[in-house]
Structure 1
Amino acid sequence: MELVHRKMKLKGVENNCLLLIFFLISIGLGAQSDKVPIPVLDGEWWQIASTPDLGEYNTKEQQPVDFGIWKAKDGTWQLWSCIRNSNFAPGTPLSSEYSTTRFLYGWEGKSLFEKDWKPQGIKWTAEPSLGETPGGMQAPYVFKEDNFYYLFYGDWQRISLAKSLDGKNFERVLGGNGQPDLFAEYGYGGNTFYTQARDPMVVKKGNTYYCYYTSHADEPINDGAAFARTSVNMRDWSESVMISHTPAHKGSDPRFSDECPQVVYLKEYNLYYLFVTQQYGKDSQTTVYASQNPLYFGVDDDSRKVCTLPIAAPEIIIEDGQYYLAALNPELNGVRIIKLKWE
């Protein structure tokens, strides 16, 4: 009986220890969740670009949309934006009902804090002889490493690459096929319009480059998602991984609910933040996710959702240790910047 009694006491101690362990774990998880910072727009916006005067290509509907911002070798700030709905080079129809008229237009600022940067004219247009869709230029992103500036851009169907020594004048990097494309994405329904891989951005972790971009999912039909691929040399890229699939916002088109992905790594928290846009204009919305896995932020799963912001097409800038966020004007007539803090 004494032996049984001792076993029962030990069993009770074990149970209490297990309960204590589970309690401590739950406290730890709660504390960890409290340490996930939220990005907050801080202060007032300042506008750096407006709808440009395109001369013979002007239309009442033209809009500067997805863009890239970077500091060139001479210290000036460069902004290249995709201009849509212009009268530029009608292009080749991708279907019986569709053609595109896009190019990249530039502005230059002496300082990140300067307002109304100086227009620089048309900076980048499609090269049909290199397999690019006429009038198909889309969002640029510039990644600087060592002495080179690498320009990733969409050519309407593919993600392509160019490079520069000064951050102003770029030349396409041609692959074995004699074209600048790196990869495309899945199509469906036999309609090549929906093979679009676009809105690239790149981060590097260790010796691996992560290219994030948006495209369209196989299932469900007519739906959009954000994807990523990895590389160790910027030329050979892995198969794609779907990293997020965000619901549409206020009845917006679900094909465009994971636009303009931007990823930021907060080293002190070992967290990657993904910003993806669901809607442009006055009802703009961008959803922000946080994850320790740079290749997964939640596919039909909002457990990693941190917040939403009333902005569209964000780009994160870090200058002198301070975070800034650039985004489109709600009227889609320019680009603006604001400080960004983490609370």
Structure 2
Amino acid sequence: MSHATLIPQIVGDWWTIATSPDIGDYGSAHQQPMDFGLWRARDGRWQLGACIRRTACGGEGRLLWRWESESLLHEDWPSAGLLLESDVNSGETLGGLQAPYVIAADGQYQMFYGDWVSICRASSLDGKQFSRHLQADGKSALFNEGQSANTRDPMVFVHGGSYFAYYTGVVHGVGAIYCRTSRNLHDWSPATIVSRGGAGGCGASDAECAFVTQAPGCDSFYLFRWHSDGNTSVYCSDDLYDFGIDHDDKKIASLPVEVARIIESEDGMFISSLMEDYTGIRLARFEWQAG
């Protein structure tokens, strides 16, 4: 494995994989697709799950929707229906669901999402139909950074037999990327701030859409973090708990994307982004280049 720092690079043109869907009675002229996850279901078809905001579902106006496709190279994926909506009986905020992120673990598909206050989890055998996990108190919340911190935008990176959950929290108006770890998806460690501030700022929307990965053949870890200026900063670190607090010493690049996800398949490597006007979701080819 190499310790050389590699630089992320968007290659070629974007293509649109999804636009604002017809969501029936919940539909609104103002609805927009937002944070999302991409994964491959058990039948081999690619899945896109996204938060749709400004709908008519009540409360905060957000729900989770799904599309699917046989290939990442296809445009305009067919809509596949409702992925999940809030359940107030499980303690979730009405219309508060945000940012689904799915991994394969324990023989199932595990979906992490925000409910406006907490990070929650649901699971699926086929990677399409998900059921939420409830805690001993009958609620879906796994953890949060306080009732007013709008804990959201989870992603989970698996390394060394542990699950690293990275997510956004806004405590006393300061936005940051937090991390908690688990060996079993049930019991989670106390939170650690892993990224905050620097040139990207420390406002409520300056530490969102976290994505952590490794480049092929590289020991280092890379954090993609979106800021309210519309760009995603990329940080490189040897420490999964430290991508830079109030400085940019670990920053290596800035990309004009929002909700960066790096996806690998037999067709190559890809990067995702929301469209700049929030009318859809797109993909482009991606590669790591020598610094």
Task: Sort the TM-score into its range (normalised by shorter chain).
Answer: over 0.9
1:207 to 149, 158, 161: 161
CA deviation after TM superposition for structure 1 residue 253, in Å: 8.1
1:60 to 25, 29, 46: 29
In the alignment, structure 2 segments of 5+ residues that lack a partner are: none
**Cα distance change on mapping 1:84 and 1:172 into 2, 3 Å:** same
Equivalent positions of 1:144-183 (< 5 A) are 144-183=104-143
Distance 1:258 1:320 in 2: 32
CA deviation after TM superposition for structure 1 residue 263, in Å: 0.2
Task: For residue 217 of structure 2, give the secondary structure of its aligned residue in structure 1.
Answer: helix
Kept in 2: contact 1:248–1:278 (CA 8 A): no
Distance 2:134 2:174 in 1: 31
Give yes or no for the alignment of 1:242 onto 2:208. Answer: no
Percent of aligned pairs sharing the same letter: 40
Structure with more strand by fraction? 2
Query: 2:68 aligns to what?
Result: 108
Larger Rg: 1
Distance 2:286 2:134 in 1: 37
Query: 1:128 aligns to what?
Result: 88
Amino acid in the other structure paired with 2:210: P
CA deviation after TM superposition for structure 1 residue 266, in Å: 2.8
Amino acid in the other structure paired with 1:107: W
CA deviation after TM superposition for structure 1 residue 325, in Å: 0.8
Distance 2:197 2:101 in 1: 22
Equivalent positions of 1:300-339 (< 5 A) are 300-320=246-266, 322-339=268-285
Distance 2:199 2:130 in 1: 36
CA deviation after TM superposition for structure 1 residue 319, in Å: 1.3
Query: 1:26 aligns to what?
Result: none
**Please, which moves more after superposition, 157-166 or 171-180?**
171-180
Kept in 2: contact 1:273–1:290 (CA 8 A): yes
CA deviation after TM superposition for structure 1 residue 69, in Å: 0.8
Kept in 1: contact 2:6–2:215 (CA 8 A): no
Give yes or no for the alignment of 1:198 onto 2:152. Answer: yes
Query: 2:243 aligns to what?
Result: 297
Amino acid in the other structure paired with 2:174: D
Kept in 1: contact 2:199–2:247 (CA 8 A): no
Kept in 1: contact 2:260–2:273 (CA 8 A): yes
State the TM-score, normalizing by the size of structure 2: 0.94
CA deviation after TM superposition for structure 1 residue 176, in Å: 1.4
State the TM-score, normalizing by the size of structure 1: 0.80
Name the count of aligned residue pairs: 288
Amino acid in the other structure paired with 1:38: I
CA deviation after TM superposition for structure 1 residue 44, in Å: 1.3
Kept in 2: contact 1:149–1:166 (CA 8 A): yes
In the alignment, structure 1 segments of 5+ residues that lack a partner are: 1-30, 92-99
CA root-mean-square deviation: 1.8
1:232 to 183, 195, 217: 183
